Amino acid sequence: MNEQEHEQFFEQLAEGLVCVAKTFEKAAEEFVEHVAIPMHISMQNAYREAGSPFGDTPEGLVAWIQCLSAINRREQELEHKRMQRELMLDAVRLGEEIRRSNT
């Protein structure tokens, strides 16, 4: 490539990058407008309906969300343990059936 071809290549690359950046910017704006803001409003409303247990501040809302997340994680852990226990009991039952059928 000669110098002019290099220059043309980098100009096209720059134009392409500008186009990509504009696309990301538009996608981010749409995400904020159509997802983030409505979700925030919905969470604020739910928090207020719950009586704003951590105070009517943005920090209170965040603390409430963190608390709910911790509760949800604990529920998931308990469900996972319950499922493991059920699988173990099924394995024991299957073993007993096999043992009975072999006798």
> pLDDT tens digits, residue range 11-45?
999 999 999 999 999 999 999 999 999 999 999 99
Count, residues in the chain: 103
Q: In sequence order, which ranges of the chain are alpha helices (DSSP H)? A: 3-31, 37-49, 58-102
**Residues 6+ positions from 50 with CB-CB distance below 8 Å:** 64
For residue 2, give the DSSP letter.
Answer: -
pLDDT in the model for residue 35: 96
For the chain, the structural domain boundaries read: 1-49, 55-103
